[in-house]
Structure 1
Amino acid sequence: MVAEFIVVFVALPALFAFVHIPGGPIPVLLLLTVVVAFYIRRAKDFDRASLWRAAALRPALWPILRLWLVAAVLLTAAVAVFDRGHLFDLPRHNPILWALIVVAYPVFSVYPQELLFRAFLLHRYAPLLRDDRVAAGASAISFGLAHLLFGNPIAVLLTLVGGWLFARRYQRTRSLLVVCVEHAAYGLLIFTIGLGRFFYHGTNFAGS
């Protein structure tokens, strides 16, 4: 199981980071999503209700929104001060692409990532990661490593923080829906305020 963890969550991200693979990470992510979904279907001890559990969303919304608002103010201010030329560059210069990201990102990026890095990782490797904080740390580090492929420290740093936040939220709510909503909110914030180029291959998508 240790070797499996290293292959999936360390070696594979390193491969993408240092070797050019045609098609990028999304096809592999979607393939892993299918494999994980098959595993979850066969795992008798997996709580399938955690894949949705809509009742957990309403009580979690205010804590999520409160923290998101703080992050939105701080990150927007940071872009305005240190990189004003890229502030809101995607919606300003390429609103069609921005609108497509708003629609497609939660479905084709957020949900597969949360299924892999939260639902699967925290269940599959629970025997190795017995403490919740240790498990959340492993999830966060794995999530950060997966973003090495973008070749910049900002992507890794933000996803380390986000990975910890999403893992702890999942542990508290046992709801993948809740975590996907939170993840999508931060991701769309990043793509909106001008940090999206750090999370995208072909960083000149905004035409600036």
Structure 2
Amino acid sequence: MSTTTYKGIEFLIIFILLPISFAIDYSIKLKMGIGLIGFLYVIYVLLKVEKKKIKIAPDLKCQIFWKQTILKLVIIGILTFLFVWLTDNKSLFNVLLNKPKLWLFILFVYSFFSVYPQEIIYRTFYFERYKELFKNETLFIFLNAIIFSLGHIFFRNSLVIILTFLGGLLFATTYVKTQSTILVSIEHAIYGSWLFTVGMGAMLGFPT
């Protein structure tokens, strides 16, 4: 399971073939079953083969992380607010204002049952499993953003593809800096929750 050939085939199946297959119309139950098996495989490889643990970054890195995350959130907040206001102002903070209980429920489910598993797969597993195959860190990060974007191809929405690519660049960079699944999950949850809150939930697959 540690040879270059095995890892290459593994990468192709997990990050290319499976996401593309999820964009094809077939049983949602089968898709969920395949996804669960894939996630359990990732956990097994991380814990038993790579001997990795979920790590929390040192306090110093946490301080830097929060400063950078807040700054990026302000920029993202301004840009996305203007985008929704100009393109679909009826959706601006719609769920927060009209369905606050649904808003809270979705944020909880999204953060713990969507974001965290995604970060284990696309950041922790990806960077720990394949780092020896790539000598160029910039290329490694760029490829991560591409496959993260590809992982959302089932939405069949070009804006989602663009946003997840940009998000992939941010999250991959954060993971490389902090080496922390927890911190990158927090960052992912903050930005994703904001997009849902500001009114972009419908286009990003959130129940509204």
TMscore range, shorter length: 0.7 to 0.9
TM-score, L = length of structure 2: 0.88
Matched residue of 1:125: which SS?
Answer: helix
CA shift in 2, pair 1:31/1:87, >3 Å? farther
Match of 1:126 in 2: 131
Q: CA–CA distance in 1 between the matches of 2:35 and 2:172?
A: 18
Per-residue deviation, 1:199: 2.1
- What's the offset of the Cα at 1:62? 0.4
Could you report, residue by residue, the CA deviation over 1:93-134 in whole angstroms, capped at 9, with x for unpaired residues?
332221111212111011100000000011111232222111
- In structure 2, which of residues 197, 200, 205 is the aligned counterpart of residue 195 of structure 1? 200
- What is the CA–CA distance in structure 2 between the aligned matches of 1:100 and 1:24, rounded to whole Å? 26
What is the identity percentage for the equivalent residue pairs of Structure 1 and Structure 2? 29
How many angstroms does 1:160 deviate by? 0.2
Give the alignment partner of residue 55 of structure 2, picking from 44, 51, 56.
51
Say which of 85, 88, 93 aligns to 1:88.
93
RMSD of aligned Cα (Å): 2.0
Partner of 2:47: 41
Q: How does 1:125-144 map to 2 (within 5 A)?
A: 125-144=130-149
For this pair of structures, how many residues does the alignment match? 201
Give the corresponding residue for 1:4. 10
TM, length-normalised to structure 1 = 0.88
2: distance between equivalents of 1:26 and 1:59?
A: 37
Distance 1:19 1:37, change over 3 A: same
Separation in 1, partners of 2:73, 2:158: 21
Give yes or no for the alignment of 1:60 onto 2:65. yes
Structure 1: stretches of 5+ with no match in the other structure? none
Shift of 1:28: 4.8
